[in-house]
Amino acid sequence: MKKQKNLTTSVCFFLMTGFMAAQVTKKTDSLEEKKIDDIVIIGYKAQKKSSLTAAISVISDKKLQDSNTPSVSGLLQGKAAGVQILPNGGAAGSSATVKIRGTSTINGPSSALWVVDGVVMPYTPNLDPNQIESINILKDAASTALYGSRAANGIVQVFTKSGNSGKGTLSASLNNSFNVFNNGRFKLMNGTQLYDYFTSLKGAPEIPKTLRNDGYNWLKDGTQTGVVQNYTIDFKGGSDHSKTYISGNYYNETGTIKGDEYNRLSFRINHEQTIKPWLILKPKVSLSYTTGKDTQASLYQMYLNMPWDNPRDANGNLIRVDEDYTDWYGRDKSSYLYDLQWNYGKSNQLDLIGNIDAEILFTDYLKFISTNNVTYKNYDDMYYTDPRSISGTSNKGELTENYQKDISKFFNQMLRFDKDFGNHNINALAAYEYTDRFYKASKAGVYGVVPGTDIFNTGATTGEKPSGTKSDRAYNAFLFNVEYVFNKKYFVQGSLRNESSSAFGANKRNGLFYAYSVGWNIHKENFFKIEPINEWKLRASRGLVGNTPSPNYGWQDLYSLTQKYNGQIGATWYQLGNPGLTWESIYQNNIGTDIRAFNNRLTLNIDYFNNKTKNLLMLVTLPSLTGVDRQYLNIGDVKNKGWEFNVNYSIIRSKDISWDLGFNISTYKNNVLSTRNNGTQVLSNYHVAIPGYDVNSFYMRKWLGVNPDNGEAQWEVINPDGSRSATSKYNLATVQVVGAATPDYYGSVSTNLTIRNFYLATNLYFSQGGQVYNSYRELFDSDGAYPYYNQMVLENGWTRWEKPGDIATHPAAVYNNNSLTNKPSSRYLEDASFVKLRSLRIGYNFPASLTEKMKIKSANIYIMGENLFTITKFSGVDPEVGNADSQSVYSGNAGAIYPIPRRFSLGLNFTF
């Protein structure tokens, strides 16, 4: 790219659904208004930013550099208003769930849809974050309606890097990190504390006084400082007729729990070749190979095993602890360390994303774009149980293997029109799209294996019953969009998608999704005379999008071939079909404003949304006398509304110093409008759907504290006349709505400071309100119900009842307590509010005088900390919980989730 006196650069944006170019004027010491509009890619189309009527957030690659994670989803926390990132734990290589604008469903999927370079992905893609150029978050129907039945939960639109015409550049990124185990405020007792607690239990037997010492620290010996290696090399280059981007990455991480390891090799090549002036080919290939090793220590046992029990004898040898072993206090008589001498698991995953795309230019305003993609994932794992281990005793050892194949195809053939007619501009597209997904899984195992084997046919005597599943789903659609702009002041846009899906019956297979939006650039009016404001836009949109839950065959009668009669296989009616089953419909409304002021130093975005979901799809339990006990039905409605605010301000912008400050905050409320027969629909994980209540409502007994007279627990009873009273009998208490997981608001504060060659970037994330159920306390704060499990240290301010008149938070502790005080109730519901310093990065850009001597183009070095501290009242590991205990949807249940570590990194970047 040649330098010119006016410092004008040509910026090219492309993806499989479009190509466009725009010139922007670069300013060195001010933020004067750009002379022409930026071009943004929204869904299937590209349009000028000034005429944008959709609610979106654009995240550049510079904003994605404050985290060293293998997951793209993990980079997004705090980057955009209206977006929640729910970590799925801190295991090596773990990902996160992205939720946009809260929850608009009950049992359906609530995570965002991913689109990579114009291709709809069937799942969260396994991409190297270093390959990402930018990410768009699409929030409303104006930006998502063209995705139809899968657009209800918003879109994460990813653009990978591209090559450039001219001299090539080679870049290298080297990063090493250390993960430190972080157990939050959750503290377990040592041997001395446990001794004092145990002997205080009413009715407890005597135990030796020699146990009153610190004892064995299971948690310390099962955890470690993990190490991360993250190395990337990429190349950008090309000629007048071609552009090429090549990237390779190696990522290796050992977890903070011993025995947890993750490795990934990633490769990508994006190429663009101009065959003729009117024909461009754009092949892309992304390949990732991931391996995992699991000789993982049991976090669950590390928590519950007692410090009085030492897993090693006096000589340091591991002890075989089973039901016959007597010198052990722990109730379960279990030591995971003994079995880990031999037992292990390992996994392999291959991800391939391939495109062969083309662009044909008929005229300067009409082009044809062909997008053709295959996404392939192959996953396998194996688990080996040694016959010498305790868990392998009954089966004389075991070997199981699981195979999964996931193949998706995506084809989009599109005509695009973009032409100016004086003060008028028309931008339109028409396309046909087809996509399908095939999934197959098989599992098998054998018993009686030879020690050390990892294949089936090595003398195994018997085997477990093989199992498997297979499913497929297909969509096809016609989609249309047209935008009209008059004099860059007024703009109107409409989208239409006619889609059919194999997931529904023939009479309900087709759906029509739409959106329309309007916008007004007030600052371009002659009457607008407010000089501090550079731009002011009003916009509004309305549309219908869909949500397609998981059942591929919910509309059909299904039969299970698992029973035998007289030696013959018989079919059992498993599911009652519903030919009228259809997708969930979400009517979305959005109104917003965008303001740029004070010489473009201030950017303000405000949005209000109000969405209504109809035809909620749920699996309903039927009376068993019908012969089949399950059926999918469309029942119920949900309403979801909220506000989003995003502010960015350039406090200082000079030659040597620049300082930017960013702030975003989001608030939303949802409630169930109706259910089946407007009744109470009990869900899993202590949740319920009741008209008038939050979608994420907790449904359990209400805790009323401790009776100061006798130290007994109390719960609430709602009497037939509506009055309320207290009871000390758990089973007599009324199950009711006692809270909700939905926060009142959440957001982030970020800042970027540059002083000459030094820079600092930080991100502070916060969430206020909502509740989280600390299910760990059922075991570790059990009032004596589990006297032979380790217990948690009481938080400051918590007290135990000891004598009449005590005002306490905890009831009297009784040996083998059977009063059910530790069973599910609002006692263990805690405030989920927190403030977290998500990242802090300090770096130095080497001056040109030094890099020239080093014969490199640029270089920088940095140190970074992540998850540095959390301010919260939550007594567990982390209030920022995702899908704990292998849950498929977010529940607000802080179960056995792997703690997210603190991470400290040192990195170097070079460009040649």
pLDDT given at position 713: 96
pLDDT value for 465: 83
pLDDT at 180 > cutoff 80 = yes
d(CA 153, CA 97): 12
Biggest CA-to-CA distance, the chain: 94
> Can you read off the two tokens belonging to residue 720?
């037939």
Alpha-carbon gap, residue 891 to 885, rounded angstroms: 10
| Residue 159 · residue 46 · CB < 8 Å | no
pLDDT tens-place string over residues 413-453: 999 999 999 999 999 999 999 999 999 999 999 999 999 88
pLDDT tens-digit profile of 183-224? 999 999 999 999 999 999 999 999 999 999 999 999 999 999
Q: Determine the Cα–Cα distance for residues 692 and 500; give it in Å rounded to an integer.
A: 33
Between these two residues, 224 and 45, which has the higher pLDDT value?
Answer: 224
Please choose, from the candidates 388, 391, 294, the residue with its C-alpha nearest in 3D space to the C-alpha of residue 333: 391
- Per the CB < 8 A criterion, the answer to whether 706 and 810 are in contact is yes
pLDDT for 201 equals 96
pLDDT at 632 over 60: yes
Of 538, 420, 541, 428, the residue nearest 144 (C-alpha): 541
The secondary structure of residue 729, as a DSSP letter, is: -
**Which residues does residue 865 pair with via DSSP β-bridges, in sequence order?**
840, 904
257 and 898 Cβ atoms separated by less than 8 Å: yes
**Confidence (pLDDT) at 20:** 29
pLDDT (0 to 100) of residue 18: 33
Distance between CA atoms of 92 and 516, rounded to whole angstroms? Answer: 44
* Region of residue 166 (left: phi > 0; alpha: psi -120 to 50; beta: else): left
Please tell me the predicted confidence (pLDDT) of residue 386: 93
pLDDT band at 19 (very low <50, low <70, confident <90, very high): very low
CA 319, 323, 324, 327 torsion: positive or negative?
Answer: positive
Q: Could you identify the residue written with the tokens 């046919």?
A: 457
Task: Please tell me the distance from the alpha carbon of residue 73 to that of residue 114, in angstroms, as a whole number.
Answer: 10
DSSP annotation of 312 reads B
CA–CA distance, 696 with 698 (Å, rounded to integer): 7
Residue 885, pLDDT > 50, answer no
Query: Strands (DSSP E) along 801-857, which ranges?
Result: 829-831, 834-845
Residue 722 in contact with residue 146, Cβ under 8 Å? no
- pLDDT of 78 over the 90 cut: no
The predicted-structure confidence for 328-337, as pLDDT tens digits, reads as follows: 999 999 899 9
**For the chain, what percent of residues have pLDDT higher than 90?**
67
Share of the chain above pLDDT 70, in %: 94
Contacts for 294 with CB less than 8 Å, ≥ 6 apart: 259, 260, 261, 344, 345, 346, 347, 383
The Cα 716–Cα 735 span in angstroms is: 9
> Rounded to whole angstroms, how far apart are CA atoms 877 and 889?
20
- Token pair recorded at residue 835: 């403030």
- Residue 385 CB neighbours (<10 A): 24
User: Under a CB-based contact definition with an 8 Å cutoff, are residues 485 and 51 in contact?
Assistant: yes
pLDDT at 10: 31
Band (89; pLDDT cuts 50, 70, 90)? confident
Q: Which tens digits make up the pLDDT trace of 658-717?
A: 999 999 999 989 999 998 888 888 887 788 889 999 988 999 999 999 999 999 999 999
pLDDT the model gives residue 562 = 75
**b vs e for 216-228, b when ≥16 Cβ sit within 10 Å of the residue's Cβ?**
bebbeebbbebeb
In sequence order, what DSSP letters do the residues of 451-500 get, joined into one string?
TT--SSTTT--EEEEEEEEEEEEEEEEEEEEEEEEETTTEEEEEEEEEEE
CA distance 701 to 693: 16
CB distance 686 to 893 below 8 Å? yes
Q: What is the pLDDT of residues 778-797, one digit of tens each?
A: 999 999 999 999 999 999 99
Answer yes or no: is pLDDT of 890 > 60.
no
Please state the pTM of the whole predicted model: 0.90
